Structure 1
Amino acid sequence: MKQISIDIETYSSTNLNQTGVYRYADSDDFELLLFGYATDFGPVKVVDLTQGEKIPAQIIKALDNPNIIKSAFNAQFERVCLSRYVGHRLKPAGWHCSRVWSATLGLPLSLRDVGSVLGLPRQKITAGKELVRYFCTPCKPTKANQNRTRNFPYHAPDKWQQFKQYNQRDVEVEMEITQKLSWFPVPQSEWQNYWMDQDINDRGIKIDQQLVDNAIKCQSEFHDQYLEKAKELTGLANPNSPLQLKDWLTQQGVQVDSLSKAAVAQLLQNTTGKVHQVLALRKLLSKSSVKKYQAMQKAKCKDDRVHGLLQFYGANRTGRWAGRLVQVQNLPRNSMPDLEASRALVKQGNFSALAMLYDSVPDVLSQLIRTAFIPKENCHFYVADFSAVEAQVIAWLSGEEWRQEAFAHNKDIYCASASQMFGVPVIKHGINGNLRQKGKIAELALGYGGSIGALKAMGATKLGLTEDELPPLVEMWRQASPHIVHFWWDIDKAAKVCIKTRLPQESHDMKFTYRSGCMFLKLRSGRSLCYPQPKIGINRFGSESITFMGINTVKKWSRIETYGAKLVENIVQATSRDLLAEAMHRLEAAGNPVVMHIHDEAVIEAPTGCSLATMVKIMTEVPDWANGLILNAAGFVGDFYKKD
């Protein structure tokens, strides 16, 4: 026996979508119902545990054997639930996830959609969703169902037989996906990255429960106060209703099309009196900082930690991680100088002092979200973060030497860029310091082919730049970084020639190949990015453009347009991801357990007395494949997480 294909069906009263699989399996009433499996792609067997059937002993033993591959679609669910069933943690090594495999090829992330895209002869049974709802989740007690809160197999024997067929079919589809994708094997190094990711998710991160509970309570109290004040000022039954508030504003002589965050901020600049007060309350009422605290509360397991916050290959074009549950990749920034003092007030429940000291309590609670993550007893957080890693990577890949030199001497890249653009020295808070902001905006907006629209999207006009200043700014940035501009066009040309001729092309030590209807872009790290069914078309400007099949912005499988600078963005972000993955492997190997990572930052939970300098040094070791890359990092030590 070399491989087991697995699919399970389970029951838990905990809402899986809201809490994640770790809290779901941690529930007191969690139960394994069906265990569908096949060994070495043989016939599928379904073990019905509700009828007293047992999973064979050799299969149970194999679950712990790293030399036997256990394959499942979204294998984290199977592994975590089966860990609860067998009574101990099943280590990730040896587990393969066909969902991850699909993601490496740019395919959809649902079993049904992958099966459809691959044109499998057997598809996932669509009626399964209703069967899962019937047997796997609590039901509402009614007179018709004798007030029961759960459906058992004997309540609907016919449905139960269909459910077993559904379980069998999922194993069959998973096996067909695995066999279909076997032409495009996942490198062993990527499976090792997946196992590390699963170890990090298993490890989880502790939550400051007192802070979380008080933050939710505080938000609720002030929300009620703001709502009552708004009712008093407007006379409306629900001033939080956009429709009611728009009508009231119209009566006050203020015509509004939208009450979005940006629209309210603009209106606040141009209104006075009662209208201004009501809009200020609207801004406070719309602050959703409490949602992440609630997500923490729901996902927290019995060990006071939240698990499963990171989705491996969440960005299936580049392989970058995505956030789940609390969405740690999208946490509000904190800029308060007295963060620790405000945090103490919330923990103490001293809400009146909080209101007295700060203009916006919701804003304080928003800035404190990060601080709800805390290390376990006798430990600190050691946080190490790559410095401007994408800017460093694109400078290295393109051979933009002045940028490399700036990073080598730890210069401020925004000042260096402005100096290169305007031909004068630029020092932060010093000579020509006013130009730094222009350099910053240009750096953030223009590195991947952006132009005037990108500058506007980055807030250039809001920061005081005029419309007339934008075109010259684009031109100056491109003239200052000619190697990056050439990089865009070189990659664009290589990709187009590869698609047209189906012959290998090389550019900047990276290789494009066409195989089995896909274009593969091999990075310097050795990992490949996949672009399924690529074609050359004509874009809206009448020029040749590259298209491929992928998940669009509304999560549908469709044809997507790309171009050289966008491919460069994929390359840079994917390379930055590989640098982080290798850095985390080194940290783990040196005995520094990662409990969370956000973008280009690793959060380590380690005993007091460990060396941050050593961790930063480990982070900035340059892999052999990245010879010549300047890689900088910095960090801090703390008793709670924050943005330093």
Structure 2
Amino acid sequence: MTMKELSIDIESYSEVDLRKSGVYRYAEDDSFEILLLAISIDNGPVTIHDLTNEKLPNEIIQALVDDTIIKWAFNASFERICLSNWLKKHHPELLSDSFLNPKSWRCSMVWSAYLGLPLSLDGVGTVLKLKDQKLKTGGDLIRYFCLPCKPTKVNGGRTRNYPHHAPDKWSTFIAYNKRDVEVELAIKDKLRNHPVPDFVWDEYHQDQVINDRGIGIDVDFVKAAIAIDKESKAKIQEELKELTGLENPNSVLQMIGWLREHGVTTDSLDKKAIKTVNEKTAQILKLRQQAAKSSVSKYQAMVNCVCKDGRARGMFQFYGANRTGRWAGRLVQIQNLVRNELSDLTEARNLVKNGDYTTVNLLYDTQETLSQLVRTAFVPNDGKKFIVCDFSAIEARVLSHLAGETWRSKVFEQGKDIYCMSASQMFRVPVEKHGQNVELRQKGKIAELACGYGGSVGALKAMGAIEMGLSEEELQPLVDSWRQANPNVVLFWWDVDRAVKTAVKEQIQTETHGVQFEVIKGMLFITLPSGRKLSYVKPKMGENQFGGESVTYEGTGTAKRWEILESYGPKFVENIVQAISRDILAYAMKRLKGFKIVGHIYDEVIIECDQDQRLEEIATLMSNAPDWMPDINLRADGYECSFYQKD
């Protein structure tokens, strides 16, 4: 029988915690095994293979390693990595690489994300109102069969549940496995009129290669950092107990009670609260914050997910942010690491790696130093180096280019400081980074960061304007000055606003600033210059809090729930600009395909390479504008390092 495609779902067992460690570490563990494999051949009936008592048919095994046969799964990386490790164990002669080639795999979760749908199988099924939904019994069955169990007198002291321990549950589990593939098939059928473009699948395949490659972890350094953190926290706890007399200084209730007894009324123990208390209580609150600092959680995440070869894998989720299509961080969350600002970074790192708590504590704020050193745990292989290269002000460049704000584009072309030039444009005086009117640069910077997407006084406050020394009275004039200095950006916001509203109201295609808007079968599509589309489910005209018109759509809100969301011109512009910035990064990574990319963060690429590799070659490749936006001025800068850091 000739096969063209398979739809697959597996159920598996491992002693490793999947949520904490990720699929690569989970599936390489000696305890790992596949229990059930549900499969549909060419969208036909679903067949279940119970691998606890039968062998997988040879034709299925051969299809798994045949790159001409397309394999589909929801969250396909899980199935691909699990099946790769199963093949290593049972049929090593069939696997030519460490993992199955991702080029023959497609992910229906990515397809759902591309169309603005939830990132869970049950969530997509609910939104699409499928006739057959994912079975709700799955969670309990997974906990019973797929995880180790606690030994008790009742279960005879066993640490694992097998099918023969609960035959009825096992039968239900088989039905659950089968239903998952049926739901996946129904999703594919529902979405068939809105396919993912081939070039996006190419990006997905490169993403999978990067995740398969992983990035090195200095495990000795990580373990030493955890040990120093433990010792530091213990010392802080002792000091807090001595100063306060509290049994548990980490308890918020106990600490608030202690503060009230000492004349300080507060419901918060955050940094702002510290500024409103006296010197003694401020010292105690600062110590408590150090004790509660979670920087060590990043180190522990590394220990959890590092594979046997010392590399962490699976840290990047393709289309994890489905409003823009950006990647999302997973496991160690490399996207939100603390910046390192230590002038003697290497010395501090060496002290920590040597386990020298006494000297670290003497020379540094131990907890802050451990936070700043997290990114240095990522290391290249022996004899290699990292080249870290990032785009300069990528979002500001994209925004300026789309809006046609020529003075801003000239700033980038001439390599000048956008914060200085923005302040100069706003206040009509020369501003130099280390020269005249330098005090205005900070105002230019915060205005740039807060105002580009319609932000006003609230955005300035959220960016820390008050903490930076700006007064409440200065904020609105700052917003007004920025908008007056950037009239074409403001015009761009409302051009997009009109284009979206017209597309939704009149059900016609509109276009502005090189971006197209169209509603097709209950979906608003925004077509970017790259050809990629942003998707908004069930767009409608609504009313905003001020009584004006707004566009509403359905999506995943901040509380991770499916709900009705509201948007307007500047918000759509933010989505568009961030999405195009993402596309520029994806284009750059495509050009860098011949290099070993081991990580990427928004506008930055980390490459592991030989010592003689030239930084300039990589920066030049990244600085080339894509053919779909040839006139944009891009600039990439970088540095070399023996461990990951921020230059």
Question: Normalising TM by the smaller chain, what interval?
Answer: over 0.9
Alpha-carbon distance in 2 for matches of 1:307, 1:261: 35
Alignment of 1:107-118 (within 5 A): 107-118=117-128
Q: 1:83 maps to what in 2?
A: 84
Q: 2:195 maps to what in 1?
A: 185
Q: 1:562 maps to what in 2?
A: 567
Alignment of 1:52-63 (within 5 A): 53-63=54-64
Alpha-carbon distance in 2 for matches of 1:470, 1:49: 65
**1:497-533 Cα shifts (integer Å, max 9, x gaps):** 0000001101111111110101100001110101110
**1:416-461 Cα shifts (integer Å, max 9, x gaps):** 1011111111100101111100000000000000011111111111
Alpha-carbon distance in 2 for matches of 1:283, 1:24: 34
Q: 2:24 maps to what in 1?
A: 22
Q: 1:539 maps to what in 2?
A: 544
Alpha-carbon distance in 1 for matches of 2:640, 2:101: 30
2:362 pairs with 1:356: yes
Q: 2:409 maps to what in 1?
A: 404
Alpha-carbon distance in 1 for matches of 2:184, 2:57: 21
- The 8 Å contact of residues 269 and 285 in structure 2, kept in 1 or not, is answered as no
Instruction: Look up the SS of the partner of 2:381 in the other structure.
Output: coil
2:285 pairs with 1:260: no
Alpha-carbon distance in 2 for matches of 1:278, 1:497: 58
**1:235-275 Cα shifts (integer Å, max 9, x gaps):** 110011111111111111111111124323x24xx4123x2
Alpha-carbon distance in 2 for matches of 1:129, 1:238: 36
AA partner of residue 531 (structure 2): G
Q: 2:627 maps to what in 1?
A: 624
2:218 pairs with 1:213: no
Alignment of 1:136-535 (within 5 A): 136-264=146-274, 266-267=275-276, 270-273=277-280, 275-358=281-364, 360-535=365-540
Alpha-carbon distance in 1 for matches of 2:303, 2:549: 51
2:642 pairs with 1:639: yes
AA partner of residue 47 (structure 1): H
**1:18-60 Cα shifts (integer Å, max 9, x gaps):** 1000010011110011111001110000011101x22222222
2:560 pairs with 1:593: no
Alpha-carbon distance in 2 for matches of 1:391, 1:524: 17
Alpha-carbon distance in 2 for matches of 1:596, 1:287: 26
Match among 36, 41, 46 for residue 44 of structure 1: 46
Alpha-carbon distance in 1 for matches of 2:520, 2:279: 64
Q: 1:607 maps to what in 2?
A: 610
Alpha-carbon distance in 2 for matches of 1:476, 1:277: 40
2:582 pairs with 1:580: no
Alpha-carbon distance in 1 for matches of 2:362, 2:554: 55
Instruction: Look up the SS of the partner of 1:610 in the other structure.
Output: coil
2:143 pairs with 1:133: yes
**1:68-114 Cα shifts (integer Å, max 9, x gaps):** 21000000000000000111410110101000100001101110110
Alpha-carbon distance in 1 for matches of 2:477, 2:263: 41
Alpha-carbon distance in 2 for matches of 1:320, 1:390: 13
- The 8 Å contact of residues 552 and 565 in structure 2, kept in 1 or not, is answered as yes
Identity %: 55
AA partner of residue 287 (structure 1): K
TM-score by length of 2: 0.97
Alpha-carbon distance in 2 for matches of 1:57, 1:183: 34
- The 8 Å contact of residues 20 and 331 in structure 2, kept in 1 or not, is answered as yes
AA partner of residue 55 (structure 2): K
AA partner of residue 311 (structure 1): Q
Alpha-carbon distance in 2 for matches of 1:237, 1:377: 48
Alpha-carbon distance in 2 for matches of 1:77, 1:271: 53
**1:454-502 Cα shifts (integer Å, max 9, x gaps):** 1111111111111111111111101111110000000000000000000
Alpha-carbon distance in 2 for matches of 1:554, 1:231: 37
Q: 1:72 maps to what in 2?
A: 73
Alpha-carbon distance in 2 for matches of 1:303, 1:59: 30
Q: 2:7 maps to what in 1?
A: 5
Structure 2 gaps of 5+ residues are 89-94
Alpha-carbon distance in 1 for matches of 2:119, 2:286: 41
Deviation at residue 382 of structure 1 after TM alignment:
0.5
Q: 2:105 maps to what in 1?
A: 95
Alpha-carbon distance in 2 for matches of 1:632, 1:239: 50
Alpha-carbon distance in 2 for matches of 1:124, 1:372: 40
Alpha-carbon distance in 1 for matches of 2:210, 2:582: 16
**1:294-348 Cα shifts (integer Å, max 9, x gaps):** 0000001101111000111010010000100011111111111111110000011
AA partner of residue 386 (structure 2): F
Structure 1 gaps of 5+ residues are none
Q: 2:91 maps to what in 1?
A: none
AA partner of residue 210 (structure 2): I
Deviation at residue 127 of structure 1 after TM alignment:
0.4
Instruction: Give the aligned length.
Output: 636
Instruction: Look up the SS of the partner of 1:90 in the other structure.
Output: coil
Give the RMSD, CA atoms, in angstroms.
0.9
Deviation at residue 397 of structure 1 after TM alignment:
0.6
Alpha-carbon distance in 2 for matches of 1:416, 1:71: 51
AA partner of residue 2 (structure 1): K
**1:564-612 Cα shifts (integer Å, max 9, x gaps):** 0000000000000000011011111xx2110011111000001111011
Alpha-carbon distance in 1 for matches of 2:142, 2:288: 41
Instruction: Look up the SS of the partner of 2:643 in the other structure.
Output: coil
Alpha-carbon distance in 1 for matches of 2:528, 2:496: 12
AA partner of residue 350 (structure 1): D
Q: 2:92 maps to what in 1?
A: none
Alpha-carbon distance in 1 for matches of 2:525, 2:340: 40
- The 8 Å contact of residues 505 and 541 in structure 2, kept in 1 or not, is answered as yes
Alpha-carbon distance in 1 for matches of 2:123, 2:584: 31
TM-score by length of 1: 0.98
Alpha-carbon distance in 1 for matches of 2:67, 2:633: 37
Alpha-carbon distance in 1 for matches of 2:505, 2:100: 47
